[in-house]
């Protein structure tokens, strides 16, 4: 336990926020500090073929200790943290033997992590929690995953009696801004399949995610003195409002769950002569996903007919549901499920209401389901992780390696 705590605290105290407005990779210079530290640590624990490229992608190998060839598997996590909330001067708090009551994160600001609001806390009574101090995010997304992978590799190196094949690990920048897999060299990585350690609560096992697209709508208006504007003014703000009112109000993030898709408007600005807004489109079902994009085009066409071709729309696909690529090799999900059950973890198999590097990697030729890393309330000041969950995730990694060897020889 102390080894995992120490390693995790070391990682989270390094600010690695990514920046969606940057054109570089990694998107922020500060991600290099943790990247370089990880390279040193992988070498220290005895990993081989440790490398880091000019975009901060890290790979390393734990060689097989078998005499026969079996599939090569991989484990992947990202070291950047979300730009949604501050990651500077992270000051973690350790709550031992959690009693199931409110946790005061910051008394001065009256910031409280309460099971009355975050019911999941009650699952972890009696356990050791690591929380924020109420002023930053924690960074368990996904420094918990990195902690678990490094710790598992260290354990396997120190326990050669556990038989395993060749294992590859990969750590990436910029996952939080959707670019974690953009420069990942799948061929060089050389794994038959892999797992991202990037899920949330203990037991999560995911092989489905949203199909995702972004859309930007731009409206050009005409400004005329309002006293003399009849049949002349084109108010871009009003047309933007008209567009958004046509979207189904019940199909928003706050009104959907499970496999239900949504439209989410996240930026809007406007004047009479110019208005624009951006939204994302999400759906697990490919047909529904295509229908959602078509609805946006249909609304654009309808309002252009009414208002005189003043609206333009740009829709870009971002990623797709990895289920299509994982189902043909479903044994890799079953294997992770078996490993969890062997470690007395109840698998929670459900679709991700978001994306993961694994979805992009699966379409790049590396089938890649997602396994829990243990954290909760990502991207904000209420983030926490139970240490026992990180221990379980570490044990699951080790057991997967062991099961692959047993089933392949």
> What whole-number distance in Å separates Cα of residue 321 and Cα of residue 279?
19
Q: What's CA 91's distance to the chain center, in Å?
A: 22
Beta bridge partners of 196: 76, 370
Beta bridge partners of 199: 372
> What whole-number distance in Å separates Cα of residue 409 and Cα of residue 400?
14
> What whole-number distance in Å separates Cα of residue 325 and Cα of residue 314?
27
Alpha helices in 247-383 (DSSP H): 286-307, 323-326, 331-342, 357-363
Annotated binding residue at 176?
yes
Q: Kindly name the residue from 174, 175, 251, 283 that is annotated as catalytic.
A: 175
Q: Are 322 and 284 in contact (CB under 8 A)?
A: no
- Does residue 175 carry a catalytic annotation? yes
Beta strands in 232-389 (DSSP E): 262-270, 274-283, 311-319, 348-349, 370-372, 384-386
> What whole-number distance in Å separates Cα of residue 351 and Cα of residue 363?
17
> What whole-number distance in Å separates Cα of residue 92 and Cα of residue 38?
20
Q: Are 349 and 359 in contact (CB under 8 A)?
A: no
Peptide bond into 407 cis (omega under 30): no
Length of the chain counted residue by residue: 409
Q: Are 381 and 87 in contact (CB under 8 A)?
A: no
Q: What's CA 19's distance to the chain center, in Å?
A: 15
Beta strands in 55-102 (DSSP E): 58-62, 73-78, 93-95
Instruction: Tell me the three state secondary structure of residue 11.
Output: helix
Annotated binding residue at 198?
yes
> What whole-number distance in Å separates Cα of residue 366 and Cα of residue 360?
9
Annotated binding residue at 78?
yes
Q: Kindly name the residue from 80, 142, 208, 357 that is annotated as catalytic.
A: 80
Count Cα atoms within 13 angstroms, Cβ side, for 400. Answer: 31
> What whole-number distance in Å separates Cα of residue 199 and Cα of residue 222?
49
Annotated binding residue at 141?
yes
Binding-site residue numbers are 78, 141, 176, 198, 379
Q: What positions carry a catalytic annotation?
A: 80, 175
Binding-site residue numbers for Zn(2+) are 78, 141, 176, 198, 379
């Amino acid at each position: 336990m102390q080894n995992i705590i120490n390693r995790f605290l070391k990682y989270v105290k390094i600010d690695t926020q990514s920046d969606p407005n940057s054109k570089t990779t990694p998107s922020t210079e500060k991600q290099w500090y943790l990247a370089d530290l990880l390279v040193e640590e992988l070498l220290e624990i005895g990993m081989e073929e440790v490398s880091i490229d000019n975009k901060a992608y890290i790979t390393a190998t734990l060689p097989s200790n078998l005499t026969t060839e079996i599939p090569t598997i991989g484990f992947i996590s990202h070291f950047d943290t979300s730009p949604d909330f501050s990651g500077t001067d992270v000051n973690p708090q350790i709550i031992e033997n959690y009693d199931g009551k409110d946790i005061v994160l910051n008394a001065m600001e009256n910031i409280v992590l309460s099971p009355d609001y975050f019911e999941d806390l009650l699952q972890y009574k009696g356990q050791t929690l690591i929380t924020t101090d109420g002023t930053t995010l924690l960074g368990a997304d996904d420094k918990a995953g990195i902690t678990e992978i490094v710790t598992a590799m260290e354990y396997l190196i120190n326990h050669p009696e556990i038989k395993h094949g060749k294992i590859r690990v990969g750590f990436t920048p910029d996952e939080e801004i959707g670019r974690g897999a953009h420069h990942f060299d799948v061929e060089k990585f050389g794994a038959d399949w892999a797992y991202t350690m990037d899920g949330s609560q203990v037991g999560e096992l995911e092989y489905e995610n949203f199909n995702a697209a972004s859309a930007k709508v731009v409206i050009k208006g005409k400004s005329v003195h309002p006293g003399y504007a009849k049949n002349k003014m084109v108010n871009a703000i009003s047309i933007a409002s008209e567009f958004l009112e046509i979207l189904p109000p019940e199909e928003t993030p706050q009104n959907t769950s499970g496999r239900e898709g949504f439209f989410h408007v996240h930026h809007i600005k406007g004047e009479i002569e110019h208005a624009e807004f951006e939204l994302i489109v999400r759906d697990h079902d490919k047909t529904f996903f295509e229908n959602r994009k078509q609805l946006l085009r249909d609304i654009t066409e309808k309002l252009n007919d009414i208002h005189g071709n003043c609206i333009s729309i740009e829709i870009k696909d971002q990623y797709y549901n990895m289920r299509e690529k994982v189902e043909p090799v479903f044994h890799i999900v079953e294997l992770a499920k078996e490993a969890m059950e062997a470690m007395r973890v109840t698998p929670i198999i459900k679709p991700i209401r978001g994306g993961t590097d694994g979805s992009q990697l699966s379409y790049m030729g590396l089938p890649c389901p997602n396994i829990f890393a243990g954290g909760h309330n990502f991207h904000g000041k209420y983030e926490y992780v139970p240490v026992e969950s990180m221990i379980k995730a570490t044990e699951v990694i080790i057991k997967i390696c062991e099961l692959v060897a047993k089933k392949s020889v």
